[in-house]
Amino acid sequence: MVFLNPALAKTSGGIIGGIQAKSNWIKNMVGGTSGKLTDKGIKSFIARKVIGSKLADGQGLYLLITRAKTASWRIKYRIEGKEKSYTIGTYPQSSLAQARLELKEVKASLNKGRDPVVARRITMAQAAAHSESTFRAVAEEWFAMKEKEWSLTHHTKSKRAFERDIYKALGELPIESITPSVIAKAIETINKRDVLETATRILQHLNGVFRYAQAKGLFEMVDSTTKCNFEQLVKEAKDVLVSKASRPASQSSHDLSTP
């Protein structure tokens, strides 16, 4: 028979209380009722700054005091028989509400049989690839390359024309997703201004950007769906511009340098 010290039982819950507390902790870590925590309780917990201590919210979500004494949101989960940890971010930069929302996303990923850590890495890689292959990013690389070949005036005017007439429509699109119809729509505003030289120059530069993208292996010049060659698009668009021009190009030659 085990005799408990009343004082110990009162102050710390004793052996039985300790076992019960541990049982509740385990329950909360592997799928107990969520939504236990409050911001007030979290701030009180963080104030103690006990490295390695954990505060559970339920369903695997908990706060961990790291060696740097920051409070890091973690989610404990199991997949393929292995226990893993998913890091969300630090509190309060990542709020309690945000952490619970990410918990739902992690659970949704697990329900589909996907490892949430692996899924996040793939998403981040795709986002990085997307940011590096947007039309604007590729065009900026192309302009940087052409800076050594062109005069300062021509380079400045050309970049300014893209910023004014092209980036708004195409800038944030992945370059491999851009089709001839998208380009045609982008130059409609130039057509409305009836500035033949500007439109022609921009079309020539667009062709240069796409050829550069092709050389980098970002996409094929002949789209597998539309079977349309971008070089042919430039020629056709130029023919349309010439036919629609209502005044000599010389009258609009300064448009490329308009702020």
Which one is predicted more confidently, 219 or 221? 219
Q: What is the dihedral of CA 117, 46, 42, 103, to 10 degrees?
A: 0
DSSP 171-235: TTSBGGG--HHHHHHHTHHHHHHT-HHHHHHHHHHHHHHHHHHHHTTS--SB-TTT--BHHHHHH
Entry pTM: 0.44
**Does residue 226 carry a pLDDT above 80?**
no
Q: Which residue has the tokens 């796409």?
A: 210
Task: State residue 204's pLDDT score.
Answer: 86
Task: State residue 134's pLDDT score.
Answer: 86
CA 169 to chain centre: 19
Distance CA 173, CA 195 (A): 25
Which one is predicted more confidently, 4 or 149? 149
Task: State residue 61's pLDDT score.
Answer: 95
Phi-psi region of 55 (alpha: psi -120 to 50; beta: other; left: phi over 0): beta
Task: State residue 201's pLDDT score.
Answer: 84
**Does residue 77 carry a pLDDT above 80?**
yes
**Does residue 8 carry a pLDDT above 50?**
no
Q: How many CB atoms lie within 10 A of CB 62?
A: 21
Task: State residue 100's pLDDT score.
Answer: 93
Task: State residue 207's pLDDT score.
Answer: 87
The secondary structure of 228-245, three-state, reads CEHHHHHHHHHHHHHHHC
Task: State residue 182's pLDDT score.
Answer: 72
Phi-psi region of 53 (alpha: psi -120 to 50; beta: other; left: phi over 0): beta
Average pLDDT over residues 86-103: 91
Q: Pick from 14-23, 126-135, 195-204 the range whose average pLDDT is largest.
A: 195-204
* Residue pLDDT, tens place only, 109-125: 999 999 998 888 877 66
